Amino acid sequence: MRSHGYSKVLGFVLLAVFAVAFVGCGDDDSPTGNTIGSLTDPNFVAVQEQVETYVDSTMDYILTGFSSISSISSGGNVDPVLYGPVFPDSDQVSITYVGGWHVVNLTKSRYNYAFSILDSVQFYSNDDVSQTSENLDSMWYRHNWSFDMPDTTVSHMTMEGVSGFDFRNLQSNAALIDGSQDLNIYVKHVTNDSTVWRNFDQTSTVSDLVVSKGGSNAWDEVRPTSGTLFSTITVNYYNDATQVDSESIWTVTVVFVNGDYNVSITQGTTTWTYNSTL
Inter-residue contact 93 to 83 (CB < 8 Å): yes
Whether 71 and 123 have beta carbons less than 8 Å apart is answered as: no
Chain segment 5-19, per-residue pLDDT in tens:
444 454 445 444 444
Burial of 172: CB neighbours in 10 Å, binned 0-12, 13-18, 19+? exposed
Alpha-carbon distance of 36 to 165, in angstroms, equals: 34
Average pLDDT over residues 195-209: 93
At 230 the pLDDT is 97
Sequence spans of domains, the chain: 4-277
Contact 20, 200 (CB under 8 A): yes
Cα–Cα nearest to 265, from 62, 162, 276: 276
- Which run of H or E residues covers position 129? strand 128-130
CA dist 135 and 66 (Å) reads 14
- Helix (H/G/I), strand (E/B), else coil: 87: coil
Range of lowest pLDDT (38-52, 68-82, 118-132):
68-82
Nearest to 144 by CA among 180, 170, 169: 180
Look over the chain and give the mean of its residue pLDDT values, rounded to a whole number.
83
Measured CA to CA, the distance from residue 151 to residue 102 in angstroms comes to 34
Q: Could you give the 3-state DSSP secondary structure of residue 20? A: helix
pLDDT at residue number 125: 93
How many CA atoms lie within 13 Å of 3's alpha carbon, on the beta-carbon side? 14
Average pLDDT over residues 160-177: 95
pLDDT at 237 > cutoff 60: yes
54 close to 204: Cβ distance less than 8 angstroms? yes
Give the pLDDT confidence score for residue 82 in this predicted structure. Answer: 54
Residue 3 has what pLDDT? 42
Q: Are 71 and 1 in contact (CB under 8 A)?
A: yes
Strand 270-277 versus strand 35-36 pairing type:
parallel
pLDDT attached to residue 81: 53
29 secondary structure, DSSP code: -
The answer for residues whose C-beta is within 8 angstroms of residue 13's C-beta and 6 or more apart is 147, 159, 185
In sequence order, the 6+-apart residues with CB closer than 8 A to the CB of 239 are: 194, 195, 196, 245
pLDDT in tens, 76-124: 455 555 554 455 666 777 778 899 998 888 888 888 888 888 889 999 9
Residues 114-167 pLDDT 10s: 888 888 999 999 989 998 888 899 999 999 999 999 888 999 989 999 999 999
Q: Can you give the pTM of this predicted structure? A: 0.83
Share of the chain above pLDDT 90, in %: 47
Neighbours of 12 (CB within 10 A): 25
Q: Residues of the chain with pLDDT > 70: what percent?
A: 81
Residue 72 has pLDDT above 80, yes or no: no
- pLDDT at res. 42: 84
